[in-house]
Amino acid sequence: MVSGVLVALGAVLVGLFYFVFLSKPRWKNAPPGPSGIPFLGNLLQMDKFQHITFNKWAKEYGPLYKVKLASLNMLVVSDYKMVKEIFSESAFSGRMDFTDFDFIMDGKLHGIINTESEHWEELGRFTLRQLRDFGFGKNSMEDSIMLEVNDLIKGLKAANGKPVSNVKERLLLAVVNALWAICTGIRHKHNDRELIGMTEKANKAFEGILEGGGIMLFMPWVAKMFPKWSGYGLVKQELLNFTNFLRKPVTDHKKTRQEDFDRDFTDVFLKEIQKTTDPSSAFHGQLGEDNLAATLGDLYLAGTDTTSTTLSWMMIYLSKFPDVQKKFQAEIESITGNSRPTTVSDRPKMPYTEALIAETLRFSTITPQGVQHRAIKDQEYKGYLIPKDTVITANVFHIHFDPKVWGDPETFRPSRFLSPDGKTFKKHEALIPFSTGRRQCLGESLARDNLFLFATNIAQRFEILFDKNGPDNGFESKLSFILTPKPFNVIFKDRLA
């Protein structure tokens, strides 16, 4: 026992020595940035919502500044043109080392989000192609989403004009189901315990990582040394539980797969594993199966909470801005006569709807720092030598709320994305909710289809009213991996009954 404590103490001292004396960033001609203290750097200066601090520092230090968060050297990029340049370079397309949180937990990295170089390219290319073939942007995906839209509308009708408090959960289950049907062929009932359990496990694990001041992210070696105290033990357990959910369809599909008929993404992935003989491939043997489970986890985590949270924000905005809601409903009626549901093919004819989706993505900015990249080698940019392993953060919140770019960023105004006559949707280069460059979101087109089909068909059917007797937190979010609305109630009043 005593020797255990001594070993732990010794390890902490070695770690401290390393951080204070040896882990100095190797910047040459470093960009400006706030000064910090030894060991922790700028960690104690951070707001619990990091983007608030990053936004403040962008105003002080300009579009490129450096920060040190314990062991991490970070470059924060607050100009959208620079984000585009930096994220299009392969030298800046790495990821932070999340081996400790990898689903498979065998000390290696798997799947798409956490990997880099050849395996990332192989898996990313394959996944995008297969999901397109299976449905991304195709009728089968639209059918799958519409099944869920119709079920959701049925459920909202059953609330009979009473306030609905679990809008976010209802949307999440619907979005998960549409995706899971394509990935694994499984469609759950909306009150299915397995699906709800899986969602809870994943969220609990990832929210746990943020708790405790980010020790697990910034000082993983300390977190692992004291798993109980840091919460790492619990997170690891939740991740293992979630991984069991991901492994189940893989095991089941191996038993039921037929050579000549691919039912879903899992089947085609297994087929790829079967024909792969190159041991260095991401699809080879057991590694291939691990990558399949991890990729399912990536799609689930990257694709479901993001989409349903954006839709939840949209429900709040529509209920808080009735004029916007009326214009939105008028456009839906002008295209469908309210006698049929909307379809994805209506989208190009609905500029106000596109503008509303764009403004929702800007105003909610659910990933205010995007997903961090890592410099995989020393690389020069704008006269600075960015050292290998620097973590690169796109200051998306600052970019989406920069008055120099948007004029009145604090106002929710879809018309900023329309031509002066209101007839044409205008893209804006500074809107980067799905990031940009080599690691740009792989599910953007699916996310956009989801946002369009859910929002238009809900608004066609219901008048969306904010429940004045329920909680009202304005547009405040709670601390989570993405910016999520605090509890709210909405009344769905049937317009077509």
Interaction site with ligand HEM (CB under 6 A): 87, 112-113, 124, 179, 298-299, 302-303, 306-307, 310, 366-367, 370-371, 433-435, 439-443, 446-447
Alpha-helical regions (H) of 65-191: 80-87, 117-134, 139-158, 167-184
Please say which residue, 271 or 438, places its beta carbon nearer to ligand HEM: 438
State both tokens at 110. Answer: 């798997």
| CB nearer to ligand HEM: pick between 172 and 222 | 172
In the complex, minimum distance from the CB of residue 28 to ligand HEM, in angstroms, rounded to a whole number: 26
Cβ atoms of 427 and 112 closer than 8 Å = no
Q: What letter represents residue 58's amino acid? A: A
Strand-strand pairing, 391-394 and 72-77:
parallel
Rank residues 416 and 439 by Cβ distance to ligand HEM and give the closer one.
439
Q: Quote the least distance from Cβ 497 to ligand HEM, whole Å.
A: 31
Smallest separation, CB 316 to ligand HEM (Å): 15
Distances 23 to 8, 27, 98 between C-alpha atoms, Å: 20, 12, 19
Q: Is 441 annotated as a binding residue?
A: yes
Nearer to ligand HEM, 94 or 231 (CB): 94
Q: Which is nearer to ligand HEM, 87 or 425 (CB)?
A: 87
d(CA 224, CA 408) in angstroms, rounded, equals: 46
Quote the least distance from Cβ 370 to ligand HEM, whole Å.
4
In angstroms, what is the minimal distance from the CB of 479 to ligand HEM?
A: 18
Asked if 414 and 356 count as a contact pair (C-beta separation under 8 A), the reply is yes
Determine contact, residues 400/483, Cβ cutoff 8 Å: no
Distance (Å, rounded) from C-alpha 187 to C-alpha 172?
14
Q: How far apart are CA 223 and CA 209, in angstroms?
A: 10
* Between 219 and 239, CB nearer to ligand HEM: 239
Calpha distance 145→303 (Å, rounded) = 13
Residue 30 or 186: the one with the smaller Cβ distance to ligand HEM is 186
Cα-Cα-Cα-Cα dihedral sign, residues 53, 54, 57, 58: negative
CB burial of 280-295 (b: ≥16 within 10 Å; e: otherwise) equals ebbbeeebbbbbbbbb
Distance CA 383, CA 495 (A): 59
- Start-to-end CA distance of the chain, whole Å, equals 71
What is the number of H-type helices and E-type strands within the chain? 18, 10
Minimum CB–partner distance for residue 446 and ligand HEM (Å): 4
Q: How far is the CB of 224 from ligand HEM (least distance, A)?
A: 24
Q: Whose CB is nearest to ligand HEM?
A: 443
Binding site: what residues are annotated?
441
Binding site for heme: what residues are annotated?
441
